[in-house]
Structure 1
Amino acid sequence: MEGTIVKEKRFNKLITIVSIVVPVVVAILFGVKIPNVERLGFLPPIYASINGLTAILLIVAVWAIKNGKKKLHQNIMTSCIGLSLLFLIMYIAYHMTSESTTYGGEGSVRYVYFFILISHIILSVAIIPMVLKTYAFAYLEKFESHRKWAKITFPIWLYVAVTGVVVYLMISPYYIS
């Protein structure tokens, strides 16, 4: 029992550090432009597809656990975390080599776009500690806590993944070739 408490404290410390460092580093790197480097304009459809795949896998993972396929659920969730990390790397790489694209839609659709974008950004920051905490509970075999957290984490993570695709689809006509 003592080992579990020590492990949980270590996880909590690591989760806190990662949850602060990742958004800060992304914000800093978002403003850094690498000079004389080829623009990585091919990345947005790839990382939007990664968001879409993550959304699908999240749903499959819920199906798996509800059908008693614990190992499949675990593997899919680990894959979702890996995909989210891959997304983040590509997103940063794109923004370090390309200027931000301005949304060109007009009228009420513009407000819809910015609502989706802003909620996506805010929740993408909030989801980091939630995913890590939920995953840590499963790793520590604290399944009751894992289930409680997962009921909140899952819909938010799914929203972030789906709105990532929606934001891409809405802004893609305005990307510079």
Structure 2
Amino acid sequence: MKLEVRVVPLPIPEPVGAHELAWSYLLDRVFADAYHAGVAGLRMTLPSEALVAEAELRAELSGEGGEGWGVALLGGGDEPLVGARRVYALAFRGVAAPPAGTGRGWVEEAALYVYTWRARAWGGAMHLASLLGWPSIGDWAWHRVRRAFAATRPTLAYYRLSIRRPA
């Protein structure tokens, strides 16, 4: 898949630990949806240089698409949407949601909520079990973290990815 990347630095946490896992979920979803929608390439805006290699790897692994472009505004920006077949807009805590694809002519097809508050709560339980020396409880809490990490239904989350198509 063709890829054009632009970096617009934003004050977000570095992609390490839970945020690294969150960005993995987000990029996987964007590239999988773009592939299934049949787009030939993506114009992507990212909030950190550290994510460029991850995006390039996924573009290389994605097969050739059909025609048209998708626009992935994962770090804000004001990419023109004329002729876009898909728009991926990311909102994250503390940063205003980009206005991409929210006007007339665009329909939200799906949303993904990543790094949910429920997962963060289970993460606290996991760390507490580790401090108390209860490995079996820690393993159980880790399983709960993974199950609650991403959701397709509306929930409180650090990241919200909106997938839109032309009406």
Q: What TM-score do you get using the length of structure 2 for normalisation?
A: 0.35
Q: What TM-score do you get using the length of structure 1 for normalisation?
A: 0.33
Of the two, which has the highest radius of gyration? 1
Which one has the bigger helix percentage? Answer: 1
Higher relative contact order (CA 8 A, sep 6+): 1
